[in-house]
Structure 1
Amino acid sequence: MTAHADVIDLAQRLIRCPSRAGVDDYEPVLGVLEDWLAGRGLPYRRLHGDKDAAVGLLIEVAGGRPGPWWALDACVDTAPYGDEAAWSFAPDSGEVVEGWLRGRGAADSKLAAAMFCGIAAELQGRADALHGGLAVLLDVDEHTGGFGGARAYLADPEAVRPAGVLIGYPGLDEVVVGGRGLWRATIAVHAASGHSGSRSTTSGAVSRAARLVRLLEEAELPGADGEFPLPPRLTVTSCHGGQGFSVVPDLCELGVDIRTTPGFDARAAEGLVREAVGELDVRLPSPRPTTVTRVAAWPPYRLTEDQQPAAALLEAARSQGLTVRPKTAGPSNIGNLLAGEGIPATAGFGVRYEGLHGVDERACLADLPAVHAVYRRTVLGLLGSS
């Protein structure tokens, strides 16, 4: 079996093991990977998160010469299927039809996981010539948003901290070298409760929350600057309050998501929200002040084209005749988590795809030889071998 055929076969078997985040048991998909790795003599071990649950597999290929370690990362958990009746094929198909690999996870990111396993297997046979080492992280806690595999990897005292990470999200025309950060919070808006028909009733919590939404959405945000190509963005993502019709609600909770930039960071985001909250409590007083609880904060990041591992990946892609451009993504990704740890990362270069997180997800296998060659060349270059 050729190397590409072996990668495709493994990807098919992974797709046929449903591993939807928060829905499926991950043991079957982990078992497929472990059988494949053991059959090729690759060193691997499980990573565990809270309550000792498995959150990923870590493959480690140690080089015979001193040098930094680098990591490849791909998730093997997936988004949910959504409306299965809308799919034109089974979400766990794994079939190859007209050059496209079908099924949930084909694009994000079981094909990349299989490809990275193949690269690790090849490097295992020439490890003595490598400087440093290669780690391959196969995460089964990515689509939850918890990134448990990455967190466990970074916290593992036995793992060598990587000098950089290449994340195998798909897309042939771009190498993602950065992303906006985020600051998220829940806001509890209070009011006096009462009967909705009472003459003495004042504005309820939902009405006060609506005023706060208006204040937040009218707040002025800076534009993009020369150092970072995207502006910050504020979105009110949830609103929960009240029950029935006869009671004026005394609590309404909002969810706020702010995408941050180097010029408008987490501190600025929190300051904007607290300023709006203060203005609300002055304009529409309440028995209890509005409270803000931060949920998450990640820094923005952006690698320059000459910074590793972006430089090696871009050069390798161009050496294959591919026209690629560095991209700073609007959504956050694992690269933001790594940036917070001081680890540079690329977060996207792979095959063309359709239906990612939607119906009829599939990945273009015609792109696999070139993408495989790009990552192989990148890793060998970083490890000081050719």
Structure 2
Amino acid sequence: MSENLQQAAQGRAASVVELAQELVRRPSRAGIDDYGPVLGVLEDWLTARCVPNRRLLDDAGHLVGLLAEIPGGRPGPWWSLDACVDTAPYGDRSAWSFPPASGDVVDDWLLGRGSADSKLAAAMFCHIAADLMPRAADLHGGLAVLLDVDEHTGGFGGARAYLADEAAARPAGVMIGYPGLDDLVIGGRGLWRASIALYAPSGHSGSSKTVVGAISRAAHLVRLLDAAELPGVDGASAFPLPPKLSVTSLHGGQGFSVTPDRCDLNVDVRTTPGFDAHDAENLIRKAVAELDAEMPAPQPTEISPVASWPPFRLTDGEEPAAALLGAAAEVGLTLRAKTAGPSNIGNLLAAEGIPATAGFGVPYEGLHGTDERAHLAELPQVYAVYHRAVLSLLRAG
């Protein structure tokens, strides 16, 4: 490329950090804070630079994101940059060594909740969009920047509203700005989740009559699930991770004197191409059938599926991963293509047939925990990689 994008990225870093500071200083904890103030900062910044943008609403009319769109002057596919600007909660504020909404820069670290996940990426992507505006007429397709404020809820309302928006061009691929300098996430395990309700006769805990309560039945089901055999890594699919089953929640009873008649638990199964959602559901139903046969109850155990996402993994050379890996090499970074254990928006996009990358950004500490912070020394390199990748995709047509 003729442009010295590395030098340009150096020049943009201070402005990116300044915008990110303003975002961190607007609390946007998922399900807790009003998202209007944090999105207002982004709206004002984009509008002042003539970058077209509009709010995204869900079916109930709730604010779930902001979408900036830059149409190119030539035909071609659209690509998307995606970063969330809602955050995890603060947790125990007294455990923090600085205010959770600090936004200060100390020793080259941006401090505060959302600095790493993912307000710095949001600020960076907005700058890339603004950089493209003067040359939009020469670009193929277009670039959309999705700023999601319904990500940490697990609802991914911004992404869903974007994909459902008839006025938005469907992206050929999405680059998600989660942090982490060493890896480019090109895949992830899927998931199948369910809530399970177990029943039993209620009774007095001090009664001379023995009653097998719902909690005892639930405990037996947990043992069955923990002992369930899952396959290992499937060499045929080239997917590098095995499936995993976890009981993540158990609730039942109150006080001490009553043996409860109901207990509820949640099950999370991480799926792979060789062990999919159908296999996960069959495994859970088999364990529940065994429980009901061994420990009968007045009412059968109920399984209520909650969510299901497919696993995904981009193939070698597939965009937009190839563009990011190539751009990283051009600025002297060596990235590992990684398949992640946790799920992310990439799974939602995979279900829509849209390839996605995630997990490339600046180094970080305290993600979702105490003293979240993002390291800024590497920001120019990360900026240059995304800028180069976007330009290569929009010039390819």
Q: TM-score category by the smaller chain?
A: over 0.9
Does 170-179 or 299-308 show the bigger shift?
Answer: 299-308
2:177 paired residue number:
168
Q: Any idea what SS the aligned residue of 1:164 has?
A: strand
Q: Kindly indicate whether residue 75 of structure 2 is the aligned counterpart of residue 39 of structure 1.
A: no
Q: Any idea what SS the aligned residue of 2:255 has?
A: coil
2:12 paired residue number:
3
Does 65-74 or 88-97 show the bigger shift?
Answer: 88-97
Q: Which amino acid aligns with 2:19?
A: L
2:292 paired residue number:
281
**Mapped contact 1:61–1:124 kept (Cα < 8 A):** yes
**Mapped contact 1:180–1:330 kept (Cα < 8 A):** yes
Shift of 1:361: 1.1
Shift of 1:138: 0.3
Question: Please, what TM-score do these two structures have when normalized by structure 1?
Answer: 0.98
Residues in 2 aligned to 1:19 and 1:72: alpha-carbon distance in whole angstroms: 20
2:24 paired residue number:
15
Q: Kindly indicate whether residue 115 of structure 2 is the aligned counterpart of residue 106 of structure 1.
A: yes
Q: Any idea what SS the aligned residue of 2:377 has?
A: helix
1:191 paired residue number:
200
1:312 paired residue number:
323
RMSD: 1.3
Q: Any idea what SS the aligned residue of 2:172 has?
A: coil
Q: Which amino acid aligns with 1:377?
A: R
Residues in 1 aligned to 2:100 and 2:256: alpha-carbon distance in whole angstroms: 42
2:98 paired residue number:
89
Question: Please, what TM-score do these two structures have when normalized by structure 2?
Answer: 0.95
2:354 paired residue number:
343
Residues in 2 aligned to 1:192 and 1:42: alpha-carbon distance in whole angstroms: 63
2:4 paired residue number:
none
Residues in 2 aligned to 1:273 and 1:86: alpha-carbon distance in whole angstroms: 39
**Mapped contact 1:15–1:92 kept (Cα < 8 A):** yes
1:73 paired residue number:
82
**Mapped contact 1:195–1:201 kept (Cα < 8 A):** no
Q: Any idea what SS the aligned residue of 2:16 has?
A: helix
**Mapped contact 1:79–1:143 kept (Cα < 8 A):** yes
- Match for 1:59 among 68, 74, 91? 68
Residues in 2 aligned to 1:240 and 1:321: alpha-carbon distance in whole angstroms: 51
Which deviations, in whole Å up to 9, do the C-alpha atoms of 1:166-214 show, x marking residues without a partner?
Answer: 0000000000000001111011111112222333333111111111100
Where in structure 2 are there 5+ consecutive unaligned residues?
Answer: 1-9
Equivalence map 1:196-345=2 (5 Å): 196-226=205-235, 227-345=238-356
**Between Structure 1 and Structure 2, how many residues are aligned?**
386
Q: After TM superposition, which residue ranges in structure 1, 4 or more long, deviate above 4 angstroms?
A: none
Does 47-56 or 341-350 show the bigger shift?
Answer: 47-56
Residues in 2 aligned to 1:214 and 1:50: alpha-carbon distance in whole angstroms: 41
Which deviations, in whole Å up to 9, do the C-alpha atoms of 1:128-177 show, x marking residues without a partner?
Answer: 11000000000111111110000000000100000000000000000000
Q: Percent identity?
A: 71
Which deviations, in whole Å up to 9, do the C-alpha atoms of 1:15-39 show, x marking residues without a partner?
Answer: 1111111111111111111110110
**Mapped contact 1:129–1:385 kept (Cα < 8 A):** no
**Mapped contact 1:305–1:326 kept (Cα < 8 A):** no
Residues in 1 aligned to 2:371 and 2:48: alpha-carbon distance in whole angstroms: 32
Shift of 1:92: 1.2
Residues in 2 aligned to 1:230 and 1:279: alpha-carbon distance in whole angstroms: 28
Residues in 1 aligned to 2:138 and 2:171: alpha-carbon distance in whole angstroms: 19
2:364 paired residue number:
353
Q: Which amino acid aligns with 1:361?
A: E
Does 85-94 or 293-302 show the bigger shift?
Answer: 85-94
Residues in 1 aligned to 2:362 and 2:327: alpha-carbon distance in whole angstroms: 15
Shift of 1:348: 1.2
Shift of 1:284: 0.7
Q: Which amino acid aligns with 1:10?
A: L
Where in structure 1 are there 5+ consecutive unaligned residues?
Answer: none
Does 203-212 or 241-250 show the bigger shift?
Answer: 241-250
Residues in 2 aligned to 1:148 and 1:62: alpha-carbon distance in whole angstroms: 24
2:376 paired residue number:
365
Residues in 1 aligned to 2:359 and 2:57: alpha-carbon distance in whole angstroms: 25
1:148 paired residue number:
157
